[in-house]
A = this chain, B = another copy of it.
Protein backbone atom coordinates (compact mmCIF):
# COMPACT_ATOMS: atom_id res chain seq x y z
CA UNK A 1 0.00 0.00 0.00
CA UNK A 2 1.32 3.39 -0.90
CA UNK A 3 0.61 5.80 1.90
CA UNK A 4 0.18 9.53 1.41
CA UNK A 5 3.67 10.13 2.68
CA UNK A 6 5.16 7.73 0.22
CA UNK A 7 3.20 9.30 -2.60
CA UNK A 8 4.79 12.61 -1.70
CA UNK A 9 8.20 11.04 -2.09
CA UNK A 10 7.17 9.71 -5.46
CA UNK A 11 6.05 13.11 -6.64
CA UNK A 12 9.29 14.61 -5.42
CA UNK A 13 10.99 11.92 -7.43
CA UNK A 14 9.28 13.07 -10.59
CA UNK A 15 10.24 16.62 -9.79
CA UNK A 16 13.88 15.65 -9.74
CA UNK A 17 13.70 13.91 -13.08
CA UNK A 18 12.36 17.07 -14.69
CA UNK A 19 14.74 19.43 -12.92
CA UNK A 20 16.50 22.13 -14.84
CA UNK A 21 20.25 22.10 -15.24
CA UNK A 22 20.60 24.97 -12.83
CA UNK A 23 18.47 25.57 -9.78
CA UNK A 24 17.16 28.99 -10.64
CA UNK A 25 13.70 28.95 -9.15
CA UNK A 26 13.10 32.02 -7.03
CA UNK A 27 12.55 30.05 -3.90
CA UNK A 28 15.94 28.51 -4.14
CA UNK A 29 18.07 31.41 -5.28
CA UNK A 30 17.19 33.37 -2.17
CA UNK A 31 20.39 34.25 -0.35
CA UNK A 32 20.52 34.18 3.41
CA UNK A 33 19.28 37.39 5.04
CA UNK A 34 20.17 38.59 8.53
CA UNK A 35 17.85 37.11 11.15
CA UNK A 36 16.77 39.15 14.13
CA UNK A 37 18.17 36.25 16.12
CA UNK A 38 21.59 36.60 14.53
CA UNK A 39 23.15 33.20 14.05
CA UNK A 40 21.87 31.49 17.19
CA UNK A 41 21.45 27.75 16.61
CA UNK A 42 19.47 26.07 18.03
CA UNK A 43 17.26 29.01 18.93
CA UNK A 44 17.02 29.58 22.70
CA UNK A 45 13.65 29.53 24.41
CA UNK A 46 13.67 33.27 25.14
CA UNK A 47 15.92 35.81 23.47
CA UNK A 48 16.05 39.58 23.60
CA UNK A 49 18.84 41.20 21.62
CA UNK A 50 19.13 44.98 21.80
CA UNK A 51 20.81 47.44 19.44
CA UNK A 52 23.45 48.38 21.99
CA UNK A 53 26.75 46.74 21.24
CA UNK A 54 29.99 46.24 23.10
CA UNK A 55 33.53 45.48 21.99
CA UNK A 56 35.52 42.50 23.21
CA UNK A 57 39.30 42.73 23.48
CA UNK A 58 41.35 39.70 22.64
CA UNK A 59 44.00 40.92 25.07
CA UNK A 60 41.83 41.44 28.10
CA UNK A 61 38.50 39.63 27.73
CA UNK A 62 38.04 36.93 30.34
CA UNK A 63 35.70 34.09 31.05
CA UNK A 64 35.81 33.48 34.77
CA UNK A 65 33.95 31.91 37.64
CA UNK A 66 31.62 34.42 39.26
CA UNK A 67 32.46 35.12 42.90
CA UNK A 68 29.20 33.58 44.05
CA UNK A 69 29.61 30.50 41.88
CA UNK A 70 29.58 27.12 43.55
CA UNK A 71 32.15 25.98 41.02
CA UNK A 72 35.77 26.78 41.67
CA UNK A 73 39.01 26.57 39.65
CA UNK A 74 39.28 22.88 40.42
CA UNK A 75 36.30 22.32 38.11
CA UNK A 76 38.32 21.15 35.15
CA UNK A 77 35.23 20.80 32.97
CA UNK A 78 34.51 24.51 33.19
CA UNK A 79 38.13 25.61 32.93
CA UNK A 80 38.55 23.58 29.74
CA UNK A 81 35.32 25.03 28.37
CA UNK A 82 36.44 28.61 29.13
CA UNK A 83 39.61 28.07 27.16
CA UNK A 84 37.77 26.37 24.31
CA UNK A 85 35.21 29.13 23.95
CA UNK A 86 37.77 31.90 24.30
CA UNK A 87 39.49 30.33 21.34
CA UNK A 88 36.28 30.01 19.33
CA UNK A 89 35.40 33.62 20.03
CA UNK A 90 38.71 35.15 19.08
CA UNK A 91 39.90 32.79 16.39
CA UNK A 92 36.65 32.16 14.57
CA UNK A 93 33.50 34.30 14.64
CA UNK A 94 34.25 36.08 11.39
CA UNK A 95 31.05 34.86 9.89
CA UNK A 96 28.42 37.38 10.72
CA UNK A 97 29.51 40.93 10.26
CA UNK A 98 27.08 43.61 11.23
CA UNK A 99 27.22 47.13 9.82
CA UNK A 100 24.66 48.51 12.23
CA UNK A 101 27.11 49.41 14.94
CA UNK A 102 29.50 51.87 13.44
CA UNK A 103 29.54 54.46 16.16
CA UNK A 104 32.88 55.04 17.82
CA UNK A 105 33.44 54.84 21.51
CA UNK A 106 31.41 51.73 22.14
CA UNK A 107 31.74 50.38 25.63
CA UNK A 108 33.82 47.30 26.24
CA UNK A 109 32.63 44.02 27.59
CA UNK A 110 35.51 42.79 29.69
CA UNK A 111 34.18 39.67 31.32
CA UNK A 112 31.82 36.81 31.13
CA UNK A 113 31.14 35.65 34.68
CA UNK A 114 29.92 32.11 34.98
CA UNK A 115 27.90 31.30 38.05
CA UNK A 116 26.84 27.82 39.01
CA UNK A 117 23.91 28.38 41.33
CA UNK A 118 23.51 24.94 42.83
CA UNK A 119 25.84 23.67 45.55
CA UNK A 120 25.96 20.35 43.71
CA UNK A 121 27.57 21.60 40.51
CA UNK A 122 27.92 18.07 39.06
CA UNK A 123 31.31 19.18 37.75
CA UNK A 124 32.97 15.83 38.27
CA UNK A 125 29.98 13.75 37.23
CA UNK A 126 28.57 12.44 34.03
CA UNK A 127 25.62 13.94 32.23
CA UNK A 128 22.41 11.97 32.61
CA UNK A 129 19.00 11.91 31.03
CA UNK A 130 17.73 13.98 33.96
CA UNK A 131 20.58 16.50 33.92
CA UNK A 132 19.59 20.15 34.16
CA UNK A 133 20.83 21.97 31.04
CA UNK A 134 19.06 25.25 31.67
CA UNK A 135 20.90 28.57 31.86
CA UNK A 136 20.34 32.29 31.86
CA UNK A 137 22.61 34.66 30.02
CA UNK A 138 22.73 38.39 30.41
CA UNK A 139 25.13 40.41 28.28
CA UNK A 140 25.33 43.93 29.67
CA UNK A 141 27.66 46.48 31.19
CA UNK A 142 30.00 46.11 32.94
CA UNK A 143 30.07 42.36 32.37
CA UNK A 144 28.08 39.47 31.05
CA UNK A 145 26.68 36.91 33.45
CA UNK A 146 25.89 33.29 32.70
CA UNK A 147 23.88 31.57 35.42
CA UNK A 148 23.16 27.87 35.47
CA UNK A 149 22.18 25.45 38.22
CA UNK A 150 24.66 22.86 36.94
CA UNK A 151 27.75 22.80 34.78
CA UNK A 152 25.71 21.29 31.94
CA UNK A 153 23.69 24.46 31.55
CA UNK A 154 26.89 26.50 31.72
CA UNK A 155 28.27 24.52 28.75
CA UNK A 156 25.14 25.24 26.72
CA UNK A 157 25.27 28.91 27.71
CA UNK A 158 28.92 29.23 26.72
CA UNK A 159 28.08 27.95 23.27
CA UNK A 160 25.25 30.46 23.08
CA UNK A 161 27.52 33.28 24.23
CA UNK A 162 30.08 32.38 21.56
CA UNK A 163 27.33 32.45 18.93
CA UNK A 164 26.43 36.01 19.91
CA UNK A 165 29.89 37.35 19.14
CA UNK A 166 30.43 38.80 15.68
CA UNK A 167 32.91 41.00 13.88
CA UNK A 168 31.99 44.55 13.02
CA UNK A 169 33.08 45.95 9.67
CA UNK A 170 36.55 46.72 11.02
CA UNK A 171 36.96 43.20 12.31
CA UNK A 172 36.43 44.21 15.93
CA UNK A 173 34.86 41.45 18.01
CA UNK A 174 31.46 42.69 19.12
CA UNK A 175 28.42 41.53 21.02
CA UNK A 176 25.03 43.12 21.55
CA UNK A 177 23.33 43.62 24.84
CA UNK A 178 21.26 40.48 25.19
CA UNK A 179 19.07 38.61 27.66
CA UNK A 180 18.52 34.91 27.16
CA UNK A 181 16.66 32.34 29.21
CA UNK A 182 17.04 28.85 27.87
CA UNK A 183 16.44 25.15 28.39
CA UNK A 184 15.94 22.19 26.07
CA UNK A 185 12.49 21.08 24.98
CA UNK A 186 13.61 17.41 24.95
CA UNK A 187 16.07 15.74 27.30
CA UNK A 188 17.48 13.17 24.87
CA UNK A 189 19.06 14.72 21.75
CA UNK A 190 21.29 12.23 20.07
CA UNK A 191 23.45 11.32 17.12
CA UNK A 192 23.98 7.69 16.13
CA UNK A 193 27.28 6.87 14.49
CA UNK A 194 28.10 3.39 13.24
CA UNK A 195 31.70 2.22 13.60
CA UNK A 196 31.11 -1.29 12.30
CA UNK A 197 30.19 -0.92 8.60
CA UNK A 198 33.19 1.37 8.40
CA UNK A 199 35.73 1.91 11.12
CA UNK A 200 35.73 5.53 12.25
CA UNK A 201 39.13 6.77 13.39
CA UNK A 202 39.13 8.35 16.85
CA UNK A 203 39.84 11.75 15.32
CA UNK A 204 36.57 11.60 13.38
CA UNK A 205 34.54 10.64 16.45
CA UNK A 206 36.07 13.43 18.52
CA UNK A 207 35.53 16.05 15.80
CA UNK A 208 31.89 15.06 15.65
CA UNK A 209 31.47 15.19 19.41
CA UNK A 210 32.89 18.70 19.22
CA UNK A 211 30.36 19.57 16.52
CA UNK A 212 27.55 17.97 18.52
CA UNK A 213 28.36 20.41 21.34
CA UNK A 214 28.14 23.31 18.87
CA UNK A 215 24.60 22.10 18.19
CA UNK A 216 23.67 21.30 21.81
CA UNK A 217 23.29 17.58 21.20
CA UNK A 218 23.74 15.61 24.40
CA UNK A 219 23.80 11.90 23.46
CA UNK A 220 26.34 10.02 21.38
CA UNK A 221 24.68 6.72 20.50
CA UNK A 222 27.69 4.63 19.58
CA UNK A 223 26.59 1.76 17.36
CA UNK A 224 29.98 0.27 17.97
CA UNK A 225 29.74 -3.28 16.57
CA UNK A 226 27.59 -5.08 14.02
CA UNK A 227 27.75 -7.88 11.46
CA UNK A 228 30.58 -6.33 9.48
CA UNK A 229 33.18 -5.76 12.18
CA UNK A 230 33.80 -5.79 15.91
CA UNK A 231 36.18 -2.92 16.65
CA UNK A 232 35.46 -2.81 20.42
CA UNK A 233 38.44 -4.31 22.20
CA UNK A 234 36.99 -6.31 25.08
CA UNK A 235 39.28 -7.04 27.99
CA UNK A 236 37.25 -10.08 28.99
CA UNK A 237 37.03 -11.48 25.46
CA UNK A 238 39.99 -10.10 23.50
CA UNK A 239 39.33 -12.59 20.69
CA UNK A 240 36.18 -10.67 19.71
CA UNK A 241 38.12 -7.78 18.18
CA UNK A 242 41.20 -9.84 17.41
CA UNK A 243 39.10 -11.99 15.08
CA UNK A 244 36.11 -9.76 14.43
CA UNK A 245 37.61 -6.35 13.70
CA UNK A 246 38.58 -5.39 10.16
CA UNK A 247 42.13 -5.39 11.53
CA UNK A 248 43.14 -6.28 15.11
CA UNK A 249 45.55 -3.35 15.47
CA UNK A 250 44.60 -0.59 13.09
CA UNK A 251 40.80 -0.90 13.19
CA UNK A 252 39.98 -1.25 16.88
CA UNK A 253 39.04 0.93 19.83
CA UNK A 254 41.33 0.14 22.72
CA UNK A 255 40.16 0.63 26.30
CA UNK A 256 42.11 3.88 26.27
CA UNK A 257 40.37 5.05 23.11
CA UNK A 258 37.00 4.36 24.69
CA UNK A 259 37.99 6.28 27.82
CA UNK A 260 39.08 9.22 25.68
CA UNK A 261 35.76 9.27 23.85
CA UNK A 262 33.80 9.14 27.10
CA UNK A 263 35.81 11.90 28.78
CA UNK A 264 35.86 14.11 25.67
CA UNK A 265 32.09 13.75 25.53
CA UNK A 266 31.59 14.34 29.27
CA UNK A 267 33.51 17.60 29.07
CA UNK A 268 30.96 18.71 26.48
CA UNK A 269 27.90 17.49 28.38
CA UNK A 270 27.40 14.52 26.09
CA UNK A 271 26.40 11.05 27.23
CA UNK A 272 27.94 8.06 25.49
CA UNK A 273 25.47 5.20 25.06
CA UNK A 274 27.03 2.16 23.45
CA UNK A 275 24.90 -0.22 21.45
CA UNK A 276 25.62 -3.94 21.51
CA UNK A 277 22.96 -5.17 19.17
CA UNK A 278 21.88 -8.83 19.59
CA UNK A 279 20.67 -11.44 18.73
CA UNK A 280 20.83 -10.36 15.05
CA UNK A 281 23.59 -8.19 13.58
CA UNK A 282 26.21 -10.34 15.27
CA UNK A 283 28.15 -12.03 12.46
CA UNK A 284 31.41 -10.40 13.57
CA UNK A 285 30.90 -11.64 17.16
CA UNK A 286 30.92 -15.20 15.94
CA UNK A 287 34.47 -14.99 14.61
CA UNK A 288 36.01 -14.63 18.04
CA UNK A 289 33.49 -16.48 20.21
CA UNK A 290 32.95 -20.14 19.43
CA UNK A 291 29.38 -21.49 19.67
CA UNK A 292 27.89 -18.06 20.22
CA UNK A 293 26.02 -18.00 16.91
CA UNK A 294 23.46 -20.48 15.65
CA UNK A 295 24.83 -22.97 13.08
CA UNK A 296 22.56 -22.86 10.04
CA UNK A 297 21.57 -26.10 8.36
CA UNK A 298 21.12 -27.01 4.76
CA UNK A 299 18.85 -30.02 4.94
CA UNK A 300 20.22 -32.28 7.66
CA UNK A 301 23.78 -30.94 7.54
CA UNK A 302 25.30 -27.76 8.95
CA UNK A 303 25.84 -25.41 6.01
CA UNK A 304 28.91 -23.78 7.50
CA UNK A 305 27.20 -20.43 7.88
CA UNK A 306 25.85 -18.95 11.08
CA UNK A 307 22.73 -17.04 12.06
CA UNK A 308 21.75 -14.94 15.07
CA UNK A 309 23.02 -15.61 18.59
CA UNK A 310 22.14 -19.15 19.67
CA UNK A 311 19.36 -18.68 22.22
CA UNK A 312 19.15 -22.26 23.46
CA UNK A 313 22.60 -22.70 25.02
CA UNK A 314 23.45 -21.79 28.57
CA UNK A 315 26.92 -20.83 27.39
CA UNK A 316 25.32 -17.99 25.45
CA UNK A 317 23.94 -16.48 28.63
CA UNK A 318 27.18 -17.07 30.54
CA UNK A 319 28.96 -15.15 27.80
CA UNK A 320 26.42 -12.33 27.81
CA UNK A 321 26.62 -12.04 31.57
CA UNK A 322 30.38 -11.60 31.50
CA UNK A 323 30.34 -9.37 28.43
CA UNK A 324 27.73 -6.95 29.72
CA UNK A 325 29.31 -6.90 33.15
CA UNK A 326 32.43 -5.60 31.46
CA UNK A 327 30.72 -3.04 29.25
CA UNK A 328 28.55 -1.79 32.08
CA UNK A 329 31.67 -0.84 33.95
CA UNK A 330 33.47 0.56 30.90
CA UNK A 331 30.57 2.88 29.98
CA UNK A 332 29.44 5.04 32.89
CA UNK A 333 26.08 6.00 31.43
CA UNK A 334 23.02 4.65 33.21
CA UNK A 335 21.73 3.24 29.92
CA UNK A 336 22.96 0.75 27.41
CA UNK A 337 21.38 0.13 24.02
CA UNK A 338 20.67 -3.56 23.44
CA UNK A 339 19.50 -3.37 19.84
CA UNK A 340 17.12 -6.25 19.14
CA UNK A 341 16.14 -5.20 15.62
CA UNK A 342 15.75 -7.18 12.42
CA UNK A 343 16.20 -10.73 13.61
CA UNK A 344 16.12 -13.09 10.63
CA UNK A 345 14.53 -16.43 11.59
CA UNK A 346 15.70 -18.44 8.56
CA UNK A 347 18.75 -19.91 10.25
CA UNK A 348 16.96 -20.67 13.52
CA UNK A 349 14.26 -22.46 11.55
CA UNK A 350 16.85 -24.62 9.76
CA UNK A 351 18.54 -25.85 12.95
CA UNK A 352 17.21 -29.15 14.39
CA UNK A 353 18.31 -28.36 17.95
CA UNK A 354 16.42 -25.13 17.83
CA UNK A 355 13.40 -26.92 16.41
CA UNK A 356 13.52 -29.33 19.32
CA UNK A 357 13.81 -26.47 21.78
CA UNK A 358 10.77 -24.77 20.23
CA UNK A 359 8.74 -27.89 20.87
CA UNK A 360 10.03 -28.25 24.43
CA UNK A 361 9.11 -24.67 25.21
CA UNK A 362 5.73 -24.94 23.51
CA UNK A 363 6.53 -22.05 21.15
CA UNK A 364 4.87 -23.79 18.19
CA UNK A 365 6.06 -22.14 14.97
CA UNK A 366 6.26 -18.69 16.47
CA UNK A 367 9.92 -17.74 16.34
CA UNK A 368 9.08 -14.35 17.74
CA UNK A 369 8.54 -16.22 20.98
CA UNK A 370 12.05 -17.60 20.75
CA UNK A 371 13.38 -14.12 20.07
CA UNK A 372 11.50 -12.81 23.08
CA UNK A 373 12.81 -15.67 25.20
CA UNK A 374 16.34 -14.64 24.34
CA UNK A 375 15.74 -10.94 24.85
CA UNK A 376 13.99 -11.55 28.16
CA UNK A 377 16.95 -13.47 29.52
CA UNK A 378 19.31 -10.80 28.19
CA UNK A 379 17.33 -8.01 29.84
CA UNK A 380 17.41 -9.88 33.13
CA UNK A 381 21.16 -10.16 32.84
CA UNK A 382 21.62 -6.50 32.05
CA UNK A 383 19.33 -5.57 34.90
CA UNK A 384 21.73 -7.23 37.33
CA UNK A 385 24.42 -4.83 36.11
CA UNK A 386 22.24 -1.95 37.36
CA UNK A 387 21.88 -0.48 33.89
CA UNK A 388 18.77 0.79 32.24
CA UNK A 389 18.34 -0.23 28.66
CA UNK A 390 17.25 1.15 25.34
CA UNK A 391 15.93 -1.19 22.66
CA UNK A 392 14.77 -0.87 19.04
CA UNK A 393 11.01 -0.92 18.64
CA UNK A 394 10.69 -4.59 17.57
CA UNK A 395 11.43 -5.73 21.11
CA UNK A 396 8.41 -3.78 22.31
CA UNK A 397 6.33 -4.87 19.32
CA UNK A 398 7.04 -8.52 20.14
CA UNK A 399 5.60 -8.13 23.61
CA UNK A 400 8.75 -8.68 25.66
CA UNK A 401 8.33 -7.68 29.31
CA UNK A 402 10.27 -4.46 29.82
CA UNK A 403 11.36 -2.55 32.88
CA UNK A 404 9.29 0.60 33.38
CA UNK A 405 12.30 2.85 32.67
CA UNK A 406 13.06 1.19 29.30
CA UNK A 407 13.53 3.56 26.39
CA UNK A 408 11.92 2.27 23.20
CA UNK A 409 13.64 3.53 20.08
CA UNK A 410 11.22 4.09 17.17
CA UNK A 411 12.92 3.75 13.81
CA UNK A 412 10.58 2.13 11.26
CA UNK A 413 9.37 4.71 8.76
CA UNK A 414 5.89 5.19 7.40
CA UNK A 415 3.91 4.47 10.52
CA UNK A 416 6.12 5.87 13.23
CA UNK A 417 3.40 8.16 14.55
CA UNK A 418 1.16 5.17 15.27
CA UNK A 419 4.10 3.43 16.90
CA UNK A 420 4.80 6.43 19.13
CA UNK A 421 1.17 6.28 20.21
CA UNK A 422 1.39 2.57 21.01
CA UNK A 423 4.67 2.74 22.89
CA UNK A 424 3.66 5.71 25.03
CA UNK A 425 0.18 4.27 25.42
CA UNK A 426 1.83 1.26 27.05
CA UNK A 427 3.57 3.66 29.41
CA UNK A 428 7.10 3.45 28.03
CA UNK A 429 9.55 6.23 27.49
CA UNK A 430 10.44 6.65 23.83
CA UNK A 431 12.75 8.41 21.43
CA UNK A 432 12.19 9.03 17.74
CA UNK A 433 14.57 8.33 14.87
CA UNK A 434 12.31 7.18 12.01
CA UNK A 435 12.25 10.51 10.13
CA UNK A 436 15.89 11.22 10.83
CA UNK A 437 17.83 8.53 9.00
CA UNK A 438 20.49 10.81 7.63
CA UNK A 439 22.23 8.04 5.72
CA UNK A 440 19.37 8.34 3.21
CA UNK A 441 20.59 11.20 1.10
CA UNK A 442 18.78 13.05 -1.64
CA UNK A 443 19.25 16.04 -3.86
CA UNK A 444 18.70 19.59 -2.57
CA UNK A 445 17.84 20.95 0.87
CA UNK A 446 16.70 17.85 2.73
CA UNK A 447 17.50 19.52 6.05
CA UNK A 448 14.11 21.21 5.70
CA UNK A 449 12.38 17.83 5.76
CA UNK A 450 14.14 16.92 8.99
CA UNK A 451 13.38 20.34 10.37
CA UNK A 452 9.63 20.08 9.75
CA UNK A 453 9.19 16.90 11.80
CA UNK A 454 7.13 17.35 14.95
CA UNK A 455 7.89 14.49 17.36
CA UNK A 456 4.64 14.91 19.30
CA UNK A 457 2.48 14.82 16.20
CA UNK A 458 0.68 11.61 17.16
CA UNK A 459 -2.62 10.80 18.81
CA UNK A 460 -2.10 10.52 22.53
CA UNK A 461 -2.78 12.09 25.92
CA UNK A 462 -0.62 14.77 27.52
CA UNK A 463 0.78 12.05 29.73
CA UNK A 464 1.77 10.07 26.65
CA UNK A 465 3.47 13.07 25.07
CA UNK A 466 5.55 13.53 28.20
CA UNK A 467 6.99 10.05 27.64
CA UNK A 468 8.66 11.26 24.44
CA UNK A 469 12.03 12.30 25.79
CA UNK A 470 13.62 13.16 22.46
CA UNK A 471 15.15 11.71 19.37
CA UNK A 472 18.27 10.82 17.48
CA UNK A 473 19.63 11.53 14.03
CA UNK A 474 21.11 8.27 12.71
CA UNK A 475 23.98 8.11 10.26
CA UNK A 476 24.34 4.42 9.45
CA UNK A 477 27.71 3.52 8.08
CA UNK A 478 27.25 1.51 4.87
CA UNK A 479 28.25 4.47 2.70
CA UNK A 480 30.07 6.61 5.21
CA UNK A 481 33.59 6.69 6.58
CA UNK A 482 36.24 9.23 7.51
CA UNK A 483 36.24 10.61 3.97
CA UNK A 484 32.64 11.84 3.93
CA UNK A 485 31.00 11.44 7.33
CA UNK A 486 31.44 14.95 8.68
CA UNK A 487 30.15 16.96 5.69
CA UNK A 488 27.29 14.50 5.25
CA UNK A 489 26.22 14.87 8.87
CA UNK A 490 26.50 18.65 9.21
CA UNK A 491 24.51 20.81 8.94
CA UNK A 492 21.78 18.25 8.17
CA UNK A 493 21.84 17.04 11.77
CA UNK A 494 21.68 20.67 12.91
CA UNK A 495 18.06 20.68 11.73
CA UNK A 496 17.33 17.85 14.16
CA UNK A 497 19.23 19.69 16.88
CA UNK A 498 16.95 22.70 16.69
CA UNK A 499 13.82 20.57 16.52
CA UNK A 500 14.81 18.82 19.73
CA UNK A 501 16.08 21.84 21.64
CA UNK A 502 13.92 24.83 20.65
CA UNK A 503 10.29 25.59 21.42
CA UNK A 504 7.60 23.74 19.50
CA UNK A 505 6.58 26.90 17.64
CA UNK A 506 10.04 27.51 16.17
CA UNK A 507 9.09 26.37 12.68
CA UNK A 508 9.90 29.26 10.35
CA UNK A 509 12.11 27.64 7.72
CA UNK A 510 13.05 31.02 6.22
CA UNK A 511 14.42 32.28 9.51
CA UNK A 512 15.99 28.88 10.08
CA UNK A 513 17.72 29.08 6.69
CA UNK A 514 19.09 32.51 7.55
CA UNK A 515 20.49 31.44 10.90
CA UNK A 516 21.65 28.02 9.75
CA UNK A 517 23.59 29.49 6.82
CA UNK A 518 25.72 31.48 9.24
CA UNK A 519 25.88 28.65 11.75
CA UNK A 520 27.28 26.36 9.07
CA UNK A 521 29.97 28.92 8.15
CA UNK A 522 30.79 29.13 11.87
CA UNK A 523 31.28 25.36 11.95
CA UNK A 524 33.57 25.69 8.90
CA UNK A 525 35.59 28.40 10.66
CA UNK A 526 35.95 26.09 13.63
CA UNK A 527 37.52 23.56 11.29
CA UNK A 528 34.49 21.35 10.64
CA UNK A 529 33.74 20.63 6.95
CA UNK A 530 29.99 21.26 7.27
CA UNK A 531 28.54 21.26 3.78
CA UNK A 532 26.69 24.22 2.24
CA UNK A 533 22.91 24.65 2.32
CA UNK A 534 22.78 26.27 -1.10
CA UNK A 535 24.74 28.56 -3.46
CA UNK A 536 26.55 31.03 -1.23
CA UNK A 537 29.92 31.56 0.36
CA UNK A 538 31.61 31.75 3.71
CA UNK A 539 33.94 34.68 4.44
CA UNK A 540 36.57 32.10 5.19
CA UNK A 541 36.18 28.86 3.23
CA UNK A 542 37.17 25.41 4.41
CA UNK A 543 40.93 24.96 4.25
CA UNK A 544 40.96 21.25 3.44
CA UNK A 545 39.97 19.29 0.37
Q: Mark A472-515, 1 if CB is under 8 A from B, else 0.
A: 00001111111111111000000000000000000000000000
Are A441 and B440 in contact, CB atoms less than 8 angstroms apart?
Answer: no
> How many subunits of this chain does the assembly comprise?
2
Known: A203-B545, A530-B483. A477 touches B535 (CB 8 A): yes
Q: How long is the Cα–Cα vector from A185 to B542 in the complex, in angstroms?
A: 37
Are A197 and B10 in contact, CB atoms less than 8 angstroms apart?
Answer: no
Residues of B with C-beta under 8 A to A204: 545
Closest Cβ–Cβ distance, residue A54 to chain B (whole Å): 27
Residues of B with C-beta under 8 A to A99: none
Q: Does A404 contact B (CB under 8 A)?
A: no
Contact partner, A531, options B6, B199, B208, B483, Cβ 8 Å: B483
Instruction: Please list the 6 inter-chain residue pairs (A to B) with the smallest Cβ-Cβ separation, ordered nearest first.
Output: A483-B529, A484-B487, A197-B535, A246-B537, A482-B542, A13-B13
Residues of B with C-beta under 8 A to A412: 21
Name the segment of A34-42, A108-116, A226-234, A373-381 touching the other chain.
A226-234
Residues of B with C-beta under 8 A to A2: 14
Residues of B with C-beta under 8 A to A6: 14, 17
Closest Cβ–Cβ distance, residue A295 to chain B (whole Å): 19
Closest Cβ–Cβ distance, residue A365 to chain B (whole Å): 23
Q: Does A539 contact B (CB under 8 A)?
A: yes
Residue of B nearest to A535 (CB): B197
Contact partner, A529, options B207, B444, B484, Cβ 8 Å: B484
Known: A441-B443, A535-B478, A544-B544. A21 touches B483 (CB 8 A): no
Q: Does A125 contact B (CB under 8 A)?
A: no
Give chain A interface residues in 226-261, CB to chain B under 8 Å: 226-229, 246-247, 250-251
Residues of B with C-beta under 8 A to A437: 21
Residue of B nearest to A2 (CB): B14
Question: What is the total number of residues of chain A having a CB less than 8 Å from a CB of chain B?
Answer: 80
Are B13 and A413 in contact, CB atoms less than 8 angstroms apart?
Answer: no
Give chain A interface residues in 153-194, CB to chain B under 8 Å: none
Residues of B with C-beta under 8 A to A199: 537, 541
Give chain A interface residues in 2-21, CB to chain B under 8 Å: 2, 6, 9-10, 13-14, 16-21
Are A21 and B342 in contact, CB atoms less than 8 angstroms apart?
Answer: yes
Q: Does A341 contact B (CB under 8 A)?
A: yes
Contact partner, A537, options B251, B440, B528, B544, Cβ 8 Å: B251
Q: Does A458 contact B (CB under 8 A)?
A: no
Q: Mark A26-66, 1 if CB is under 8 A from B, else 0.
A: 00110000000000000000000000000000000000000
Residues of B with C-beta under 8 A to A439: 443
Contact partner, A21, options B344, B476, B540, Cβ 8 Å: B476
Q: Does A22 contact B (CB under 8 A)?
A: yes
Q: How long is the Cα–Cα vector from A444 to B442 in the complex, in angstroms?
A: 11
Closest Cβ–Cβ distance, residue A103 to chain B (whole Å): 25
Q: How long is the Cα–Cα vector from A317 to B21 in the complex, in angstroms?
A: 27
Are B486 and A545 in contact, CB atoms less than 8 angstroms apart?
Answer: yes
Chain A contact residues, CB within 8 Å of chain B:
2, 6, 9-10, 13-14, 16-24, 28-29, 197-199, 201, 203-204, 207-208, 226-229, 246-247, 250-251, 281, 341-342, 344, 392, 411-414, 437, 439-444, 476-488, 524, 528-537, 539-545
Residues of B with C-beta under 8 A to A23: 478
Q: How long is the Cα–Cα vector from A278 to B326 in the complex, in angstroms?
A: 67
Are A198 and B535 in contact, CB atoms less than 8 angstroms apart?
Answer: yes
Are A227 and B24 in contact, CB atoms less than 8 angstroms apart?
Answer: yes
Q: How long is the Cα–Cα vector from A60 to B45 in the complex, in angstroms?
A: 68
Closest Cβ–Cβ distance, residue A176 to chain B (whole Å): 25
Q: How long is the Cα–Cα vector from A208 to B479 in the complex, in angstroms?
A: 21
Are B17 and A534 in contact, CB atoms less than 8 angstroms apart?
Answer: no
Closest Cβ–Cβ distance, residue A6 to chain B (whole Å): 5
Q: How long is the Cα–Cα vector from A204 to B204 in the complex, in angstroms?
A: 21
Contact partner, A483, options B227, B485, B524, Cβ 8 Å: B524
Q: How long is the Cα–Cα vector from A532 to B476 in the complex, in angstroms?
A: 13
Contact partner, A22, options B342, B413, B540, Cβ 8 Å: B342
Are A341 and B281 in contact, CB atoms less than 8 angstroms apart?
Answer: no
